[in-house]
Structure 1
């Protein structure tokens, strides 16, 4: 998991450098670009249903005040479509690649139904996957993980995001993003191992885990034995899956030892059994990966 996350950081740095190179050529790209490639209809272009699967969907919010700037940025960033496609082909754990700009333009691949998924007047700069990468929050201009899980505005469920700011002439032009959904994390990191793994964040909330580990920590029953279906249900309450808020004092003690006291190995009592829990904090995210020896 650590290796894959580091590879994604390298990938988004490279994507940022390529995007910066486009702005260095912006006069050429604006003057020679194909203005028929995207047809804007209301707040969107290339929206599902019927979208070209090789192109991104574009979303221009009603807050956009300079449509000429929006049209120019579309032309400058059109070459990103092919790069976005290659990233999704290369990394199965990445569900979507995109950018957001302060001029209120979003480009996202793969295409989706913009009109159905998004309100027409969203402020793209108000989302943490934009502002956590801006100059105030990220003066080093490096890749930033938005590791607090959030519901994706375009309907792909709970996810985390890797962002990278792109500057030109010292101006923040846009923020790139790669999203990893909870489903992808479970499929690529949890289900492919025989180990009993539970992942929690720095607040003690469960990010993902196998059904047996969920049961050990006295969390609510799972639907169809998959944590994904529980967390994405309408009835999901985040506090129900927080170890610090467990009714079980043993679970609260374990969470305190791992998160607040950085204990790498703890023992917990479940019924008549003593169970060893080994914890490792990830270097890229404020997450703890717990292996439970049943």
Structure 2
């Protein structure tokens, strides 16, 4: 990205950007670049880890009959759709769901037993990747295995078809013909109350058919606030639709967004009355902020100078490379 920034600064040198000296301007963009690079490095490490786990999973599934021969059918007690494992009581177990939409429950029970080997590898994956919220497998036979164990009985509707959700179909044969890693482009609010979740998925094939989708979720709250706190200034992380995925309270308040719960955005997104549309740049009460969103997200500009908002001077923006996100710095008038 550094070569890209050098070209950017050359271009800015011939424009009339009098609001910020070029030296300071470059310093501000250097901070943005560092933040984006650190986050993308974390994403790259996560990708490599999941890719390795996916290859191991496929290698094991290729000898499915052998797995069944030595499977521990008694490891999980499954009552109706749900396993009886309780969150917090056994750190070696996942939450298992055999959804009511399965086409063959007996075969699904066999699949659970055959894939019990995943538990220890899921646990190791979470231990090595401290920012991971959960790692999981959702199969074509409607078997869901999620680690760590969670309160699945009170959260998941057992009548859903998991193949109709983006964390499954984004990796299927049609949407992912290369059969590799896929970032889910839009963060979403987790129903279990963990705030914004981002997913990375990888298809698992057996005999050239999609057997399952392996995935990992991590909370934007854990990742972003770890990085934002290291930098002075007011920052926003937004997706391509203009939704504010994360940000400092000062930045959100200065761009005419709704009042924050307890003055902290991370608490606001966890509250029951949170609405994504309220925290979208295109829904700001400020016409100039809406214009800023258009310039950054639609016109791919990197600098926006405020003329009407007297408390704001300029906003700077850099895009991510691997996911359709943008880091924005809001610079107020001193």
Structure 1's consecutive aligned runs of 4 or more residues displaced over 6 angstroms after TM superposition are none
| Pairwise CA distance, 1:46 | 4.1
Question: Which aligned pairs between 1:248-259 and structure 2 lie closer than 5 A?
Answer: 248-259=286-297
Give the corresponding residue for 1:4: 42
Shift of 1:17: 0.1
Contact 1:46 1:55 in 2 (8 A): no
Superimposed CA distance per residue, residues 5-55 of structure 1 (whole angstroms, 9 cap, x where no aligned partner):
111111111111010011122221110121111121221224325742211
Contact preservation (8 Å) 1:22, 1:76: no
The range that moved more, 225-234 or 245-254, is: 225-234
What is aligned with 2:182? 144
Q: Which residue number in structure 2 is paired with residue 16 of structure 1?
A: 54
Q: Which segments of 5 or more consecutive residues in structure 1 lack a partner in the other structure?
A: none
The correspondence for 2:68, drawn from 10, 19, 30, is: 30
Which of 68, 80, 102 is the matching residue for 2:140? 102
Structure with larger Rg:
2
Q: 1:154 to 1:58 in 2, by over 3 A?
A: farther
Q: Which ranges in structure 2 are unaligned for 5 or more consecutive residues? A: 1-38
What TM-score, normalized by structure 1, do the two folds share? Answer: 0.93
Offset of 1:169 from its aligned partner?
1.2
Q: How does 1:1-294 map to 2 (within 5 A)?
A: 1-48=39-86, 51-154=89-192, 156-269=194-307, 271-294=309-332
Could you tell me how far 1:261 is from its partner in structure 2?
1.2
Q: Which deviations, in whole Å up to 9, do the C-alpha atoms of 1:143-174 show, x marking residues without a partner? A: 11113122335554431211100111110000
SS at match of 2:259: coil
Contact 1:95 1:184 in 2 (8 A): no
CA offset at residue 278 of structure 1? 1.6
Compared with structure 1, are the counterparts of its residues 49 and 202 closer, same or farther at alpha carbon in structure 2 (3 Å cutoff)? closer
